[in-house]
Amino acid sequence: MKVFMIIIFCSLILGISSQPQPRFLGGFIEGVKAMRRAYSDMREANYIGADKYFHARGNYDAAQHGPGGVAAAKLISDAREHSQRVTDLLRFGDSGHGVEDSRADQRANKWGRSGKDPNHFRPAGLPDKY
């Protein structure tokens, strides 16, 4: 949760939108919520091969809230992928999510943010609940 608060604070300080702040901020907050829902669903589903689907879905859902949602999705997605590289360095190893997996995650993130159907990445057998 602290990461989300830091992201929100930094985004506001940097002024990453020319939109009126209340509208942009509202979309940003809803985008953060959408990303959190997708992450929670991914953890709950615990379904092998569904990672890219949840990446795309979280970004897609966030982007539905306008430029603020897109900004939130990009910021959170980039922070998540970069944090894996840092933890790999600190542990002197690999988190199991190598560079190629990170690139594939980012492709799924971009796919969702662009408004394309996240079901493109949906694995067979994933419960309909998700």
- Stretch 71-100: mean pLDDT, rounded? 77
Confidence (pLDDT) at 88: 65
pTM, two decimal places: 0.78
pLDDT band of residue 81 (cuts 50, 70, 90) is confident
* The total number of residues written for the chain in this structure: 130
pLDDT digits (tens, 9 = 90+) for 21-71: 678 999 999 999 999 999 999 999 999 999 999 999 999 999 999 999 999
- At residue 9, what is the residue type? F
The neighbour count for residue 59, using CB atoms within 10 Å, is 30
pLDDT band of residue 8 (cuts 50, 70, 90) is low
pLDDT band of residue 1 (cuts 50, 70, 90) is low
- Give dist(CA 50, CA 65) in Å, integer: 24
Chain-centre distance for alpha carbon 42: 12
Give CB contacts under 8 A, 24+ apart, made by 8-12: 8/32, 10/75, 11/71, 11/72, 11/75
- Stretch 62-83: mean pLDDT, rounded? 94
Confidence (pLDDT) at 101: 85
- Give dist(CA 117, CA 107) in Å, integer: 13
Confidence (pLDDT) at 112: 98
Crossing angle between the packed helical segments 99-113 and 67-91, to the nearest 10 degrees = 170
